[in-house]
């Protein structure tokens, strides 16, 4: 039996990797001053607002009468909560946060009643490029993966369920970026270099006490969009909120498109247990997929039966937001080519 086929029997018994637990689509982390019961309602309401914006992508959704009523009594949608210490840049506790999980079925029913669009699929990994002009290097200082400031950007991305990749910025790349305009052609090249389909790039301009940032969002087949954000202290959150709203215009589904569907899906290129487990965990966490059952394994190719909350073409479109999934360039007979994907190394 091929090793991949064996995984269909043994994978469930494999231990999970020890990694920090990501936020689920219906979870939020909110800074809180203390553990007193009186402090909790406001934090829970802020967490619910964060989850609604993550699911809908529109700030206006929070002003809908049904959502305003829910935010006034957020405990009605609360499933569980816990307190946790927030780590600082040095790894030591730097504050207290409340992690809240909300009842997914009730919240989805509420958003359906409000006739709001939903983005239940995963968020893409974003290549984050931040330039600040307050450093001696020519063209400004670019935020790199090892910079202490990167933690605030990762927190802002995490709040909206995005993953970020920060360039290491070797001297050659630093010089290229310092002299290149932040336009679609430059960002397309960066996206290809890092294997990512979404780039958030910006120059933070320090103008006295208030800073502004010009942000460029890039994605293949979408061109570029710009937003001028302020003040400087809110840059991480505001930049990702703007990016989230921009992408939600495409990926958030109106109620008319949230039609249950069942279809086969093939994924080739799986090289062993780690790839299989990563793929299955990712599919099971996908908000538009209710079930993904392995049915057949042949060589490095796995065929699954998928039960989805939306039409298949919208589900597959959202699957391609994962950097390690692409359309299979060598589809086999028997399944439509659009339902055959390739797992990239």
**283-302 pLDDT tens trace:** 988 889 999 999 999 999 99
Q: Are strands 93-102 and 78-87 parallel, antiparallel or unpaired?
A: antiparallel
pLDDT at res. 294: 96
First to last CA, the chain: 23
* Mean pLDDT within 8-24: 48
Q: How confident is the model at residue 9 (pLDDT cuts 50, 70, 90)?
A: very low
For residue 259, what are its two tokens? 């039609």
Helix, strand, or coil (residue 122): coil
Per-residue pLDDT for 267 more than 80? Answer: yes
Helix, strand, or coil (residue 214): strand
Cα–Cα nearest to 116, from 325, 279, 257: 257
**Separation of alpha carbons 170 and 126, rounded Å:** 19
**Separation of alpha carbons 207 and 31, rounded Å:** 29
| Partners of 203 in the β-ladder | 131, 214
Surface-to-core class of residue 91, CB atoms within 10 Å of its CB (0-12 exposed, 13-18 middle, 19+ buried) = exposed
For residue 345, what are its two tokens? 């190394």
With beta carbons less than 8 A apart as the criterion, state whether 341 and 326 touch.
yes
pLDDT at res. 6: 46
Q: How confident is the model at residue 139 (pLDDT cuts 50, 70, 90)?
A: very low
> Tens digits of per-residue pLDDT, 38-66?
999 999 999 999 999 999 999 899 999 99
| Partners of 97 in the β-ladder | 31, 84
pLDDT at res. 113: 94
For residue 78, what are its two tokens? 């609360």
Average pLDDT of the chain is: 83
Q: For residue 73, is the peptide bond before it cis, meaning its omega torsion is within 30 degrees of 0?
A: no
Per-residue pLDDT for 169 more than 80? Answer: no
**Separation of alpha carbons 303 and 267, rounded Å:** 6
Higher pLDDT, 8 or 267: 267
């Amino acid at each position: 039996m091929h090793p991949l086929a064996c995984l269909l029997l043994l994978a469930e018994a494999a231990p999970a990797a020890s990694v920090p637990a990501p936020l689920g689509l219906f979870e939020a982390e909110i800074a809180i001053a203390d553990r007193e019961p009186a402090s909790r309602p406001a934090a829970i309401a802020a967490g619910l607002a964060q989850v609604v914006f993550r699911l809908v992508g529109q700030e206006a959704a929070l002003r809908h009468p049904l959502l305003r009523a829910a935010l006034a009594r957020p405990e009605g949608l609360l499933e569980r909560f816990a307190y946790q210490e927030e780590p600082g840049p040095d790894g030591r506790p730097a504050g207290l946060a409340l992690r809240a999980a909300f009842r997914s079925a009730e919240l989805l029913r509420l958003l359906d009643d409000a006739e709001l669009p939903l983005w239940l699929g995963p968020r893409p990994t974003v290549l984050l490029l931040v330039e600040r002009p307050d450093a001696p290097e020519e063209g400004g200082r670019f935020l790199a993966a090892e910079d202490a400031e990167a933690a605030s950007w990762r927190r802002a991305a995490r709040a909206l369920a995005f993953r970020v990749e920060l360039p290491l910025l070797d001297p050659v790349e630093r010089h290229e970026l310092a002299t290149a305009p932040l336009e679609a052609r430059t960002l397309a090249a960066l996206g290809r270099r890092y294997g990512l389909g979404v780039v958030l790039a910006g120059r933070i301009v320090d103008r006295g006490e208030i800073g502004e940032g010009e942000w460029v969002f890039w994605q293949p087949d979408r061109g570029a969009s710009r937003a001028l954000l302020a003040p400087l202290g809110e840059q991480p959150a505001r930049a990702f909120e703007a990016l989230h709203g921009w992408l939600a215009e495409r990926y958030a589904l109106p109620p008319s498109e949230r039609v249950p569907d069942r279809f086969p899906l093939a994924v080739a290129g799986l090289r062993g247990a780690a790839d299989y487990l990563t793929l299955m965990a990712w599919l099971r966490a996908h908000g538009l997929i209710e079930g993904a059952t392995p049915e057949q394994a042949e060589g490095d190719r796995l065929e699954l039966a998928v039960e989805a909350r939306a039409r298949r073409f919208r589900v597959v479109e959202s699957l391609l937001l994962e950097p390690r999934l692409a359309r299979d360039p060598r589809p086999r007979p028997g399944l439509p080519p659009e339902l055959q994907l390739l797992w990239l190394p």
